[in-house]
Structure 1
Amino acid sequence: MKNDIYPCLWFNGQAREAAEYYCGIFKNARILDSNPIVTTFEANGNRFMCLNGGPEFRFSESVSFVVSCDSQEEIDYYWDALTADGGQESQCGWLKDKFGLSWQIIPAMLGSLMSDPEKGRRVMEKLLKMKKLELPVLQSA
């Protein structure tokens, strides 16, 4: 797969470690290339670059990666894997992994659950009270 546009993630000496971490979480993931400055990897057909850029910059919530999940089991898997070893839960399906990178772990059907204005309002009320999203609760709203 060729993506001409892909993210470069800035790390402070942890580029290879981060790439190995993400490859261990995502299925169909592999390291593409690595040197002391840059490690590139692919996960689920998406290319990423990890750069050992130094301590100047850190991740913020202004950029996050969305993982669209087909089941509660998949939501639980990614949530647990990405919050392990020092990750932090946030609200509404958001979390930070152990490197401080923000993720949104959401059900693939979230858009359809919110497509009806009245049901969408009820779904949103439930969603706003959650950290990890619970698909059965959202479906029953």
Structure 2
Amino acid sequence: MTTEPFTTCLWFDGQAEEAAKHYTTIFKDSRIGNIARYTEAGPGVPGTAITVDFELNGQRFVGLNGGPEFRFTEAISFQIHCADQDEVDYYWNRLCEGGEEGQCGWLKDKFGVSWQVIPTALPRLLTDPDPEKARRATEAMFQMRKLDIAALEQAHAG
């Protein structure tokens, strides 16, 4: 039985190395590891990446240049738990570059990968034992794209 942690494999259409470089500029505790490249044996262009190993905040990933057969969907997303509004703004702005904003803290980056930029205060606000406070916070969240902690707290407080 293996004791290796899970590694998430992301299927790209030729952008695995570009994506790994992009993500490692955003996440501070990150690095690119091994890059396997096609040789003259093919089937890809010699010298281009087949796979790229990288870590983001200790989470291991492999970017695979698998071709155009499969695309990312919102059915899978990565949550970034942010301590404060500065962190929310940082990750939201960096990951949205060339991508698209979604509702309630969701976005798609320029590669089509879905992310949720979530303040750590959000679960407390949405699950408050006082149902009225939770309702107000939830309604406020549904009106937002990037989550605004102060506005969520204000709605929660009434």
| Shorter-chain TM band | over 0.9
Shift, 1:93, TM fit: 0.4
Corresponding residue of 2:70: 57
The list of structure 1 runs, each at least 4 consecutive aligned residues, that deviate by more than 3 angstroms after superposition, is none
Distance across 1 between alignment mates of 2:21 and 2:72: 18
1:73 aligns with 2:74: no
Distance across 1 between alignment mates of 2:15 and 2:102: 24
Corresponding residue of 1:19: 20
Secondary structure at 1:68's aligned position in 2?
Answer: strand
1:41 aligns with 2:54: yes
The Cα offsets for residues 32-51 of structure 1, whole Å up to 9 and x where unpaired, read as 21122110101111101100
Distance across 2 between alignment mates of 1:69 and 1:53: 32
Corresponding residue of 2:101: 89
- Contact preservation (8 Å) 1:114, 1:123: yes
Shift, 1:4, TM fit: 2.3
Q: Which amino acid aligns with 2:34?
A: D
Shift, 1:90, TM fit: 0.8
Say how many residue pairs are matched. Answer: 139
Q: Which amino acid aligns with 1:64?
A: S
1:95-134 correspondence to structure 2 within 5 Å: 95-116=107-128, 117-134=131-148
Secondary structure at 1:132's aligned position in 2?
Answer: coil
Q: Give the TM-score of the pair, scaled to structure 2.
A: 0.85
Secondary structure at 1:37's aligned position in 2?
Answer: strand
Which structure: larger Rg?
A: 2
Distance across 2 between alignment mates of 1:18 and 1:115: 35
Q: Structure 1 vs Structure 2: percent identity of aligned residues?
A: 54
- Contact preservation (8 Å) 1:40, 1:48: yes
